[in-house]
Amino acid sequence: PDLEIEDDLPELNADFDEETLSEFNDEDDLETLLSEPQTESELPEVNEAEIEKEFMADFTQADFDALLSELDGPSDFEAENAENFEVDFDSLLQDELVAGEAQALPTDAEGTEDYLEIEDLLEQSDDLDGDVEPYVGANMDVGLGDFEELLAGENTTDVDLEDEGFAAKLDLAKAYIEIQDYDSAISTLNDVIENGPDSVQAEAELLKSGLTES
């Protein structure tokens, strides 16, 4: 097999002649690359005005009107919705007013009932005024004579309270004597002697005599 490959080599070399090799010349490829524009300034300029003109030429007046109508569509829709919303709001407000009036009716009825009750009471009082007074000509003698003994007992209680009051003054005079405030003690004893009952006057005079002698 090796001998067969070696025999084919001259034929392969013959197929690649000089013309074929010239197609793969590196120098030609390099010159082609160098001849291409390398900067933006060498690129062909774009005429924007011309492009815009061509773009606008594609639109007809009918297309432009259709576009405007589409833009105006949402505004009409919003206006229609706004009108519907106002109608719904008015209806809701009306419902609230009706409900409020319905709630107010029981209150008015209750107020009317109270007013009628007050009128009835006034009429009844007028009827009573027209009748004979219940206490005119009545016998007011309830037998107060039976309570004379009880009233006498109340006077006795008042006397006891009076005795206790002057007894307290007598104790106060003794307190003045203990703290050696003799002037206040004598003044208090004189009040007991002049105005107090007999049960405390004797002791008050005894205390006063002891102070004057010392």
Confirm if 185 and 173 have CB atoms less than 8 A apart: yes
Fold of 158-213: Methane Monooxygenase Hydroxylase; Chain G, domain 1 (1.20.58)
Q: What is the pLDDT of residue 187?
A: 92
Contact 12/4 with Cβ under 8 angstroms? no
Per-residue pLDDT tens for 164-211? 788 899 899 999 999 989 899 999 999 999 988 888 888 989 988 888
Ranges of each domain in the chain:
56-116, 158-213
pLDDT at 50: 79
Residue with tokens 């009051």: 165
**Average pLDDT for 110-117:** 60
What is the Cα–Cα distance from 34 to 45, expressed in whole angstroms?
A: 21
| Band of residue 44 on the pLDDT scale cut at 50, 70, 90 | low
Q: What angle do CA 196, 202, 207 make, to 5 degrees?
A: 100
For residue 72, name the pLDDT band (cuts at 50, 70, 90).
Answer: low
At residue 58's C-alpha, the angle toward residues 52 and 59, to 5°, is: 100
Which range among 75-89, 114-128, 148-162, 197-211 has the greatest average pLDDT?
197-211
pLDDT of residue 157: 44
Please state, as a whole number, how many other Cβ atoms lie within 10 Å of the Cβ of residue 59. Answer: 10
Q: Rounded to an integer, what distance in angstroms lies between the CA atom of residue 27 and that of residue 200?
A: 158
pTM here is: 0.28
Task: Dihedral sign for Cα 72, 75, 77, 79, please.
Answer: negative
C-alpha 112: how far from its chain's center?
36
